[in-house]
């Protein structure tokens, strides 16, 4: 009986650990992608777009501290927001998303970078 309980505890602990290891911050996501990390303009655009999406999500959740929640989202699921930001940049640069509106948009050279990045 005690062994079954210990096995359950270890299994749950393993699931919790693997879930926390797979979550990556936005900074971790960018750092792990050497090409993105080295391209200042592309890196800034990804950070900006990911941050805007996280802020929008925080607003939709109705929390009082939207800025704090935005930071929390980017720490917990930053790699997802970073990947989505790259996807949005790719769509914009390929011409398939003409409705993309951001404070700054990639120029032709940065678009070529994003289209190679995938």
With a CB cutoff of 8 Å and minimum separation 6, the contacts of 39 are 110, 113
Taking the C-alpha atoms of residue 18 and residue 5, their distance in angstroms, rounded to an integer, is 20
E strands present in 4-83: none
Q: Is 116 exposed, middle or buried (0-12, 13-18, 19+ CB in 10 A)?
A: exposed
Taking the C-alpha atoms of residue 18 and residue 52, their distance in angstroms, rounded to an integer, is 28
- Write out pLDDT tens, residues 53-86: 999 999 999 999 999 999 999 999 999 999 999 9
Query: How would residue 117 be classed by pLDDT, with cut points 50, 70 and 90?
Result: confident
């Amino acid at each position: 009986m005690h062994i079954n309980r210990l096995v359950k505890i270890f299994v749950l602990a393993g699931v919790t650990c693997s879930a926390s290891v797979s979550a990556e911050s936005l900074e971790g996501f960018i750092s792990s992608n050497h090409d993105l990390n080295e391209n200042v303009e592309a890196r800034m655009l990804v950070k900006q777009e990911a941050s805007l999406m996280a802020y929008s999500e925080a607003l939709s959740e109705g929390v009082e501290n939207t800025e704090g929640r935005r930071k929390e989202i980017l720490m917990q699921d930053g790699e997802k927001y970073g990947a989505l930001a790259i996807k949005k940049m790719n769509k914009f640069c390929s011409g398939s998303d003409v409705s993309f509106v951001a404070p700054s948009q990639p120029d032709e050279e940065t678009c070529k970078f994003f289209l190679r990045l995938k």
